[in-house]
């Protein structure tokens, strides 16, 4: 690493121009992120496969001859290609350079002339880019010779590529593939990089390459291809891809999120249907295919709506399953199968929900800053997936209106007086009270309705049609409430004026959740406390009730989209044009889906095949909503933040609804007595006791002691759960603390970016004033090496170099910090990992250059015999010190994984800035030197004695060092 960077550094192009060096710093600041510095001229040359290039005859004799140090100059003079096979000494540091030559330096025109430094000899594209970059830089620093800039750009690009390849070689294959994929380059370049890295690898491993390794490689390649083709096939079969594209093209991402959610729920239900059908229903059907229906019950048609009568004797409900153990090829205990299928399904659902929720939170909520609204609207809000002309026009209009509104809002907000605030608060309070009391009222009325129904209903097996139809009353009222009350809630929005649209949506969502929770809670209470003690086969009764709820809810969803959207569209277009075409209300629709899914979860115990109904329902709903959307609705007027809303919906689905359903099912299976006459658990005290019975039976089977031990010591012991809870709490607390610490660190680093930016602009201003004040500078720079400076220039050029070195050191540091910050903020480690060593390297380069400047300046006073031996002695002492320091760098570089080391290296760079400023007076330099010696004593042992001091203190030290440098600079100046 160190020797490598030294090689690059001795290239004279770096020293050609002062401004160029500064510019180099600033441009390579974004080394791995900036799309513009990415363009490496060397890569443009290669075709698909350079080794078999028919035009260029490789001259293999040159293979091992590339000088170790001068590869960069060489690379631009040599135009012959070197085949990979003849690399003589793969262990030496020069081998990678040769490799690059062999693959990248071939000019398509086979140009053998040595004049490759001129851009005219390279391909047209490249020339354009190169000149483009060069022009940019020349605009920034107009006083410099363009040739220098061009060379520097070229060298810089080459070096970047080399660094990148070296980084990639060290990574594992999976990381490498990902890193290459994330490179912001065009495809050819990626391919080139990849081929180089692979060539590197094979040349490394060539000596121990065996038949077995070849075979192994082939097999893995085969497997990978297989995997890719399977994935392609999956993509071909992806459900509703075309429809999704159409919706997003016409209505944008926020409406699309509803359909994505619907599809996700559909997949969920397909999974649960497969599980239940496979493990519960199929065994029963195989053993006993005919349902035992009483002879006087026949199918009448109304059962499809009510789920009663004929259907109640089938495998649809709990009551249709037996408690036997089927003896076929193997024993199949129906009780255990039923219990474990439901339990494992619930656990899997919970895990899937938690994971998707956590991932969504991580992606969408980590660093969300609501303050930057304008910037977001301007630069991030445009939906690239919209392809419909009308939608584009509408969206542009909406954005314009929104911008105007927000501009006027800002003017308005300051005018709010106390009384107005109080009034607004009163409106909020009133509407919240009203909405909550509405929800409570709905719950209460449903409870009384249920009681009324219970008085009417009997436990008879054969209801008349009227009786059967009466059972539809409760589901009808429940669905009606679910349809009408949310409309009232959205009316409230007209009165309360929330300051932001998001708050308004959240208020609406929370009210709707309350409503649905009250309704479901009352129903569950009624089932568990009334139905469970009244009917002989009460589980089937609850199953029927849930079936009715699901079906009627489906009917109301259809009616809702007909009346809600179709009719209001008619009204909006024909009767009352000022009302306008309705918008698709994503929040309300998603809450309806969540409610429907909760019903299915509650019903999974009472009616194992309810997911089948749910699949059908969601499938039809998808097409229904799509048609209704495209015909009746317009895109939402407000551009909300869809990703956050989606996260919230998943969270809501998990927290009150799934957890509620889970606790309901758990309570039923732990506490309530299963019905005596029907179902798999007849005759047991509770559903859970089936496990106890199983354990009891296991005692007779030898070799199953461990299962019993687990049951007795883990499942049944409170101590185990207590310990688990403690451990989970401790872990949670630790993670919470870590996240708090990271938050503080992020704030600190952000503050530093601000500081560094100010420093940078200040220094650049200063530099430019200096440049402008010195008209002779340009010619002087060209003659630098001839040492023909006037003594009158000495002072100014000295300060110039000081500022130069300082700027470089600062910029190098800033780059490092920014990269570090980005890594900590983004959690995308790979690119930053690549760039960190290079940041360190650049800091070192900057420092070395600063030293070179110093040395160069020292030679000037040689013209004055009066500046006598003190100076020479000081210089010698200082050089000694510097060589020591360099040795330390070499030592510290391998430890660069430790951030503290990196910081210390950076701060040493800063100190080199201090050093260079000491030119102005000899005394000062000597003092400096001693100070530096002391410093080094403080710094050098730090990695060994205290391997991990907190990063922030290192940062502070680095900042202090920088401030000191600045003070020195001011003094010197």
Residues in the chain: 973
Instruction: List CB contacts of 932: < 8 A, sequence separation 6 or more.
Output: 881, 911, 914, 915
| 642 near other proteins (CB under 8 A) | yes
Footprint (CB under 8 A) of other proteins, residues 825-854: 825-826, 828, 831
| 191 near other proteins (CB under 8 A) | yes
Kindly provide the b/e burial profile for residues 273-309, where b requires at least 16 CB atoms within 10 angstroms of the residue's own CB: bebbbebbbebbeeeeeeeebeeeeeeeebbebbbbb
Closer CB to other proteins, 21 or 23, in the complex:
23
| 219 near other proteins (CB under 8 A) | no
| 638 near other proteins (CB under 8 A) | no
DSSP structural state of residue 712: I
Binding mask 24-63 for other proteins (x = CB under 8 A): ------x--xxxx----------xx---------------
| 182 near other proteins (CB under 8 A) | yes
CA 115 vs CA 10, 118, 149, 744: distances in Å: 21, 6, 17, 55
Q: How many CB atoms lie under 10 A from the CB of residue 836?
A: 21
Pick the closest to residue 632 from 554, 563, 553 (CA basis). 563
| 511 near other proteins (CB under 8 A) | no
Span near other proteins by CB under 8 A; candidates 580-588, 622-630, 822-830, 958-966: 822-830
Kindly provide the b/e burial profile for residues 143-170, where b requires at least 16 CB atoms within 10 angstroms of the residue's own CB: bbbeebbbbbbbbbbbbbbbbbbbbbee
* Interface with other proteins (CB under 8 A), residue from 5, 50, 105, 253: 253
Pairing of strands 331-333, 325-327: antiparallel
* Interface with other proteins (CB under 8 A), residue from 91, 120, 289, 389: 389
Closer CB to other proteins, 387 or 863, in the complex:
387
* Residue 838 burial (10 A CB sphere; 0-12, 13-18, 19+): buried
Gap between the Cα atoms of 287 and 213, Å rounded: 53
Token representation of residue 867:
């500046």
Q: Compute the least distance from the CB of residue 648 to other proteins, in Å.
A: 12
Q: Compute the least distance from the CB of residue 42 to other proteins, in Å.
A: 15
Q: Compute the least distance from the CB of residue 958 to other proteins, in Å.
A: 18
- Please measure the distance between the N-terminal and C-terminal CA atoms of the chain and give it in whole angstroms: 36
Q: Is 63 helix (H, G, I), strand (E, B) or coil?
A: helix
Closer CB to other proteins, 65 or 225, in the complex:
225
Beta strands in 220-365 (DSSP E): 325-327, 331-333
Footprint (CB under 8 A) of other proteins, residues 362-381: 363-369, 371-376, 378-381
Pick the closest to residue 202 from 169, 160, 175 (CA basis). 169
Q: Compute the least distance from the CB of residue 230 to other proteins, in Å.
A: 10
CB 41 within 8 A of CB 68: no
Closer CB to other proteins, 136 or 942, in the complex:
136
| 787 near other proteins (CB under 8 A) | no
* Interface with other proteins (CB under 8 A), residue from 24, 78, 79, 129: 129
Closer CB to other proteins, 391 or 615, in the complex:
391
| 392 near other proteins (CB under 8 A) | yes
* Interface with other proteins (CB under 8 A), residue from 61, 68, 128, 422: 128
Closer CB to other proteins, 136 or 467, in the complex:
136
| 224 near other proteins (CB under 8 A) | yes
Footprint (CB under 8 A) of other proteins, residues 275-314: none
Largest CA-CA distance found in the chain, in angstroms, rounded: 127
* Interface with other proteins (CB under 8 A), residue from 61, 67, 186, 429: 186
Token representation of residue 43:
């890569």
| 240 near other proteins (CB under 8 A) | no
Q: Is 217 helix (H, G, I), strand (E, B) or coil?
A: helix
Span near other proteins by CB under 8 A; candidates 120-128, 582-590, 617-625, 782-790: 120-128
| 385 near other proteins (CB under 8 A) | yes
- The DSSP element (H or E) to which 313 belongs, if any, is none
Gap between the Cα atoms of 781 and 17, Å rounded: 7
* Interface with other proteins (CB under 8 A), residue from 15, 588, 641, 777: 641
CB 72 within 8 A of CB 50: no
| 712 near other proteins (CB under 8 A) | no
Q: Compute the least distance from the CB of residue 652 to other proteins, in Å.
A: 18
Binding mask 754-783 for other proteins (x = CB under 8 A): x-xxx-xx----------------------
Could you give the angle at the alpha carbon of 299 between the alpha carbons of 295 and 301, nearest 5°? 160
Q: Compute the least distance from the CB of residue 407 to other proteins, in Å.
A: 6
Span near other proteins by CB under 8 A; candidates 61-69, 162-170, 190-198, 601-609: 190-198
Q: Compute the least distance from the CB of residue 53 to other proteins, in Å.
A: 13
CB 177 within 8 A of CB 197: no
Half-sphere exposure of 151 (CA within 13 A, CB side): 21
| 923 near other proteins (CB under 8 A) | no
| 225 near other proteins (CB under 8 A) | yes
| 637 near other proteins (CB under 8 A) | no
Span near other proteins by CB under 8 A; candidates 178-186, 413-421, 483-491, 950-958: 178-186
| 187 near other proteins (CB under 8 A) | yes
Q: For other proteins, how many residues bind (rule: CB under 8 A)?
A: 93
CB 944 within 8 A of CB 901: no
Q: Could you give phi then psi for residue 315, rounded to 5 degrees?
A: -75, 5
Token representation of residue 778:
């340009």
Footprint (CB under 8 A) of other proteins, residues 644-683: 644
Gap between the Cα atoms of 88 and 102, Å rounded: 13
| 201 near other proteins (CB under 8 A) | no
Closer CB to other proteins, 191 or 936, in the complex:
191
CB 802 within 8 A of CB 913: yes
| 177 near other proteins (CB under 8 A) | yes
Span near other proteins by CB under 8 A; candidates 588-596, 621-629, 748-756, 951-959: 748-756
| 181 near other proteins (CB under 8 A) | yes
């Amino acid at each position: 690493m160190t020797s490598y960077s030294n090689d690059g550094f001795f290239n004279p192009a770096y020293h050609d121009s002062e401004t160029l060096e500064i510019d180099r710093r600033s441009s390579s600041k974004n080394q791995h992120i900036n799309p513009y510095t990415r363009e490496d001229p060397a890569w443009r040359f290669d075709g698909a496969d350079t080794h078999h290039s028919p035009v260029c005859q490789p001259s293999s004799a040159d293979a091992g001859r590339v000088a170790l140090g001068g590869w960069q100059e060489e690379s631009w003079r040599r135009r012959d290609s070197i085949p990979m096979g003849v690399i003589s000494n793969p262990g030496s540091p020069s081998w990678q350079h040769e490799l690059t030559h062999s693959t990248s330096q071939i000019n398509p025109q086979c140009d053998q002339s040595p004049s490759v430094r001129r851009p005219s000899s390279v391909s047209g594209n490249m020339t354009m880019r190169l000149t483009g970059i060069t022009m940019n830089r020349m605009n920034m620093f107009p006083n410099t010779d363009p040739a220098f800039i061009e060379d520097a750009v070229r060298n810089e690009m080459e070096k970047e590529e080399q660094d990148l390849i070296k980084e990639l070689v060290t990574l594992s294959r999976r990381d490498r593939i990902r890193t290459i994929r994330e490179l912001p380059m065009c495809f050819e370049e990626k391919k080139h990089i990849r081929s180089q890295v692979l060539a590197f690898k094979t040349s490394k491993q060539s000596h121990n390459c065996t038949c077995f390794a070849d075979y192994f490689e082939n097999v893995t390649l085969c497997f990978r291809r297989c995997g890719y083709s399977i994935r392609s096939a999956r993509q071909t079969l992806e459900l509703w891809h075309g429809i999704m594209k159409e919706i997003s093209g016409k209505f944008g991402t926020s409406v699309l999120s509803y359909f994505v959610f619907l599809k996700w729920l559909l997949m969920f239900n397909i999974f649960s249907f497969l599980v239940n059908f496979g493990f519960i229903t199929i065994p029963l059907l195989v053993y006993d295919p005919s349902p035992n229906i009483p002879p006087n019950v026949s199918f009448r048609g109304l059962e499809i709506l009510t789920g009663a009568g004929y259907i109640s004797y089938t495998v649809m409900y709990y009551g249709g399953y037996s408690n036997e153990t089927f003896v076929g090829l193997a024993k199949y205990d129906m009780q255990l199968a039923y219990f474990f299928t439901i339990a494992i399904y619930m656990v899997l659902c919970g895990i899937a929900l938690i994971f998707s929720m956590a991932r969504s939170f991580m992606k969408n909520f980590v660093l969300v800053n609501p303050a930057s609204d304008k910037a977001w609207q301007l630069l991030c809000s445009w939906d690239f997936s919209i392809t419909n002309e009308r939608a584009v026009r509408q969206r542009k209009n909406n954005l314009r209106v929104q911008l105007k509104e927000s501009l006027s809002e800002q003017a308005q907000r300051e005018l709010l007086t106390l009384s107005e605030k109080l009034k607004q608060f009163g409106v909020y309070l009133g509407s919240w009270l009203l909405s909550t009391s509405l929800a409570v009222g709905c719950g209460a009325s449903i409870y009384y309705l249920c009681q009324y129904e219970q008085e009417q209903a009997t436990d008879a097996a054969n209801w008349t049609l009227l009786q059967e139809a009466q059972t539809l009353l409760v589901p009808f009222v429940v669905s009606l409430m679910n349809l009408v009350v949310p409309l009232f809630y959205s009316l409230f929005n007209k009165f309360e004026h929330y300051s932001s649209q998001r708050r308004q949506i959240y208020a609406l969502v929370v009210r709707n959740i309350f409503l649905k929770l009250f309704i479901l809670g009352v129903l569950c209470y009624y089932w568990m406390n009334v139905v469970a003690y009244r009917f002989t086969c009460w589980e089937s009764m609850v199953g029927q009730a849930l079936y009715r709820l699901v079906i009627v809810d489906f009917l109301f969803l259809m009616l809702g989209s007909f009346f809600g959207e179709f009719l209001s569209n008619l009204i909006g277009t024909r009767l009352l044009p000022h009302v306008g075409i309705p918008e698709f209300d994503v929040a309300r629709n998603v809450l309806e889906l969540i409610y429907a899914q909760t019903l299915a979860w509650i019903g999974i115990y009472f009616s194992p095949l309810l997911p089948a109904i749910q699949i059908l329902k969601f499938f039809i709903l998808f097409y229904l909503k799509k048609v209704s959307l495209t015909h009746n609705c317009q895109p939402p007027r407000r551009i909300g933040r869809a990703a956050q809303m989606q996260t919230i919906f998943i969270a809501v689905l998990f927290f009150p609804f799934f957890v509620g359903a889970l606790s309901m099912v758990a309570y039923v299976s732990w506490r309530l007595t299963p019905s005596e006459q029907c179902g798999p658990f007849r005759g047991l005290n509770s559903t859970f006791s089936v496990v106890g019975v199983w354990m009891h039976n296991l005692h007779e089977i030898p070799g199953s002691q461990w299962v019993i031990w687990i049951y007795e010591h883990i499942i049944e012991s409170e101590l185990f759960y207590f310990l688990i809870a403690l451990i989970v709490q401790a872990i949670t607390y630790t993670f919470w603390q870590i996240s708090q610490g990271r938050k503080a660190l992020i704030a600190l680093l952000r503050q530093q970016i601000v500081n560094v930016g100010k420093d940078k602009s200040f220094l650049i201003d200063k530099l430019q004033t200096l440049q402008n004040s010195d008209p002779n500078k340009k010619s002087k720079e060209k003659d630098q090496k001839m040492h023909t400076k006037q003594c009158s220039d000495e002072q100014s050029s000295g300060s110039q170099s000081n500022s130069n070195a300082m700027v470089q050191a600062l910029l190098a540091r800033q780059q490092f910090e920014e990269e570090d910050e980005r890594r900590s903020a983004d959690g995308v480690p790979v690119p930053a990992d690549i760039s960190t060593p290079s940041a360190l390297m650049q800091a070192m380069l900057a420092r070395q250059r600063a030293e070179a400047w110093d040395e160069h300046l020292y030679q000037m006073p040689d013209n004055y015999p009066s500046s006598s031996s003190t100076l020479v002695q000081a210089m010698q002492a200082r050089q000694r010190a510097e060589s020591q320091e360099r040795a330390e760098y070499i030592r510290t570089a391998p430890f660069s994984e430790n951030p503290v080391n990196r910081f210390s290296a950076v701060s040493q760079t800063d100190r080199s800035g201090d050093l260079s400023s000491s030119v102005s007076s000899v005394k000062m330099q000597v003092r400096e030197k001693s100070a530096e010696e002391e410093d080094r004593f403080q710094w050098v042992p730090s990695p060994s004695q205290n391997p991990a001091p907190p990063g922030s203190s290192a940062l502070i030290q680095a900042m202090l060092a920088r401030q000191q440098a600045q003070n020195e600079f001011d003094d010197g100046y």
